[in-house]
Structure 1
Amino acid sequence: MRLTSFTDYGLRMLMRMASAPDRAFSTAELAEEFALSRNHLTKIMQQLARGGIVETRRGGGGGAVLCREASTIRLGDIVRLLEDGQALVECFGTGGSDCSIEGCCRLKARLRRAEARFIEDLNQSTLADIALPQRATA
């Protein structure tokens, strides 16, 4: 299974945020730290906010903070949220597919189980388990 860059970058941002849960992070700051597009990270942050993972605040001293303790945020739930709409294979998509073996395929059910087990396995860990080491301040 291959995760999208959207999910990869979202996990990186959350790992950083979990390392300093009492402070707000701006997307500009995270974009600079990870050398990524600020616009792309803004879209990811919006998805994380819609999913109840982060809370965003505007203005001076604003930014994003985790909505709850990192130890209560399951990795599988994050991946499910960020991968929403990304079908593992074409026939899993909402628009259907032009598959010529639809109706007699024995692979689809196995892939669905594997995908579910992947999320279940990730849900054995929390964001706290993968938080980046705290950085020393100068």
Structure 2
Amino acid sequence: MRLTSYSDYALRSLIYLAVKPRSDEIVNIADIADSYRISKNHLTKVIHQLGKLGYIDTVRGKNGGIRLSMHPKQINIGQLIRHTESDFALVQCFEEIKDKNKDTTLIPTVNFSTTSTSYCAIAPACTLKSAIAEAAEAFIRVLDGYSLDDFLKNKDELLVLLN
């Protein structure tokens, strides 16, 4: 299993905001990007989505920035990953299916088109895809057991490293 840099940046941004001594402290995106040595442009896209999803509050203006919109215990990691992973297809014959609530349901679907570049000759009889789908679902279920707060046990050490 491998998460995209998008999910990685989302997790790191939330950790950065959560380790701040004051929960209402406004942080600017450039500070997060500099602390992690990551692209500010890419991080801005991630932050925008985190704001739309309600994980963070954004404050406009000269002294604007971002802050967590909820307590770290309320941020479920599995749910966050469902929101930030746009394609959790582990093999080419999988496609992501989203329900009306935009939650990702990991259901394998098979591409039977022989003209597609992702066509697999054994797709109609393959049983591997169900095992891989089960593993992906188990991965997310494990993450469902964690909140952002679980990753802040060494908050003081994290704060030193991020400053």
TM-score between the two structures when normalised by the length of structure 2: 0.75
Higher relative contact order (CA 8 A, sep 6+): 1
Amino acid at match of 2:36: F
> What residue number does 1:5 align with?
5
> What residue number does 2:132 align with?
111
**Identical columns (%):** 37
Distance in 1 between residues matched to 2:15 and 2:131, nearest whole Å: 31
Amino acid at match of 1:56: T
> What residue number does 1:78 align with?
80
Bigger radius of gyration, 1 or 2?
2
Tell whether 2:159 aligns with 1:122: no
Q: Secondary structure at the match of 2:124?
A: coil
The 10-residue stretch of structure 1 (110-119 or 92-101) with the greater mean CA deviation from structure 2:
92-101
Q: CA RMSD in A?
A: 1.9
Distance in 1 between residues matched to 2:140 and 2:91, nearest whole Å: 16
> What residue number does 2:28 align with?
26
Unaligned runs of 5+ in 1: none
Number of residue-to-residue matches in the alignment: 136
Q: Secondary structure at the match of 2:93?
A: helix
Q: Deviations over 1:57-93 (max 9, x none)?
A: 2112321122211101111111111112342222223
Distance in 1 between residues matched to 2:51 and 2:147, nearest whole Å: 18
Matches within 5 A, 1:42-61: 42-61=44-63
> What residue number does 1:133 align with?
155
Unaligned runs of 5+ in 2: 97-109, 112-117
| 1:3 CA drift (Å) | 1.1
TM-score between the two structures when normalised by the length of structure 1: 0.87
